[in-house]
Amino acid sequence: MSTPRRAEPTSSSQPFPARPATPPAPSPNANGSNGRRPGPSVEPIPRLALRVGEAALALGVSDEFFSQHVAPEVRVVRRGRAKLVAVTELARWLDASAERVLERT
């Protein structure tokens, strides 16, 4: 007694249909517009505050280092579960914590 053989996959059989290379263009409305308002391009809004993890990343340190060495020295804003550190507060901490390196001659 022989076992039934599986059909070999053909080159045209794909698990998912191929995606188009470019998205389709929006269809114009009756008045010829595409439904979008003309206007200036939107630029990203600068952040005033960062979450604690983002603040650690911005300083280039780990979350643990931030919690042990930076957090005790910066002011934070707590609202609900969110804990925010102002970007200006991080800049102030950096300035206060920086030390000058003396050049040897």
For the CA atoms of 56, 60, 65, 68, what is the dihedral angle to 10 degrees? -50
User: Is 7 a domain residue?
Assistant: no
* C-beta of residue 66 within 8 angstroms of C-beta of residue 52: yes
Rounded to the nearest 5°, which phi and psi values hold at 82? -75, 140
Residue 63: give the domain boundaries: 49-97
At 61-73, the pLDDT tens digits run 999 999 999 999 9
Total structural domains in the chain?
1
- Over residues 83-93, mean pLDDT: 97
Alpha-carbon distances, residue 3 vs 6, 7, 8, 9, 78 (angstroms): 9, 13, 15, 18, 68
81 belongs to a structural domain: yes
Judge whether 53 lies within some domain: yes
pLDDT score, position 41:
79
For residue 39, being part of any structural domain is answered with no
- Establish if 87 belongs to a structural domain: yes
Express each pLDDT in 8-53 by its tens digit.
555 555 555 566 566 666 666 665 656 666 677 788 999 999 999 9
Q: Is 8 within a domain?
A: no
Residue 104 has pLDDT above 80, yes or no: no
If phi > 0 it is left, if psi is from -120 to 50 it is alpha, else beta; for residue 80 that is left
